[in-house]
Structure 1
Amino acid sequence: MIQSCIKKKILEKAVSLEKFGMNDLAWEKDAAVTLINSLMNDDIGILGGSVYKIDSNNFMPMYDNWSCNPDSKEVSKDFNFRSKTRALEYINKYPIYLDERILFSLVFTEDVD
């Protein structure tokens, strides 16, 4: 079960996607980067994520995503750190144009519920 201090960090700036018919959370770029950096020393990893765009209240999947799987000989602490580094690299490199609202969903190694 996810620790309450980690859950609080995750939920703090999350955008619920329920109104778009998805039981998921997402973050704008700055919030996602801040969140992942705040989780760097926590015992949780990021298995991957997806990218969405909101334009005039229209929700559009961008069909862009990334994933990160543990190596067979990798201990969980090393995977957790590597997976967060990989997520940061992807999000920081993702192009966002002026006035675009891009959201990043994250798949954690533990359920946030």
Structure 2
Amino acid sequence: MKFSLMMCFGAKNDRRRRADAFFCQDQQIMGHVWSEQVDAILAAGRNLDGIGVRNWALAREDALLALERLREIGVAVLGGDVYVVSGKAVVPSYDNWHCDQDAGEVAADFLSRSIDSARSYISSYGSAEAMFAIVPSI
């Protein structure tokens, strides 16, 4: 999402104006978290910016659907983190998984293996309330 600097400098208070300008510049520089296409897939989840993580946490079924959509566009998954809902907040469980590309492994094989690995981890994770932040290979 991009903001115009004109809109950002609309605040009357100088301190607020500086904060708005910083926010707007940050948004323009940062742009997408991963890529427009990947962000559109993962944004079905709950935004984690509020806890300092530039990603989204998805419920199990949404995460599994996201994995298939990532497979369709040819994006492998390097791993992910597990979050739980505590009251109204989403907090890390400190559980995670990862998948590294093997030496000499062709990209198509890694794509398939990484998605299958993520699918297996998410499907078998014990808590039904868990949410999953997926880290794509971008």
Where do 1:40-55 residues align within 5 Å?
A: 40-55=71-86
> 1:10 & 1:58 partners in 2: Cα distance?
19
> 1:59 & 1:14 partners in 2: Cα distance?
11
**RMSD in angstroms over aligned alpha carbons?**
1.9
Q: Normalising by structure 2, report the TM-score.
A: 0.67
Give unpaired runs (5+ residues) of structure 1.
none
The one-letter amino acid paired with 2:76 is G
Where do 1:19-34 residues align within 5 Å?
A: 19-34=50-65
Give unpaired runs (5+ residues) of structure 2.
1-33
Offset, 1:5: 4.5
Q: Cα gap change, 1:96/1:6 in structure 2, threshold over 3 Å: closer, same or farther?
A: same
More strand by share: 1
Q: For this pair of structures, how many residues does the alignment match?
A: 105
Q: Secondary structure at the residue paired with 1:38?
A: helix
Deviations 1:57-78 (A, max 9, x none): 2332111110000011111111
Residue in 2 that maps onto 1:77:
108
Q: Normalising by structure 1, report the TM-score.
A: 0.81
Larger RCO: Structure 1 or Structure 2 (Cα < 8 Å, ≥ 6 residues apart)?
1
- Which structure has the larger Rg over C-alpha atoms? 2
Residue in 1 that maps onto 2:120:
89
More helix by share: 2
Deviations 1:30-56 (A, max 9, x none): 100011122223221000001011111
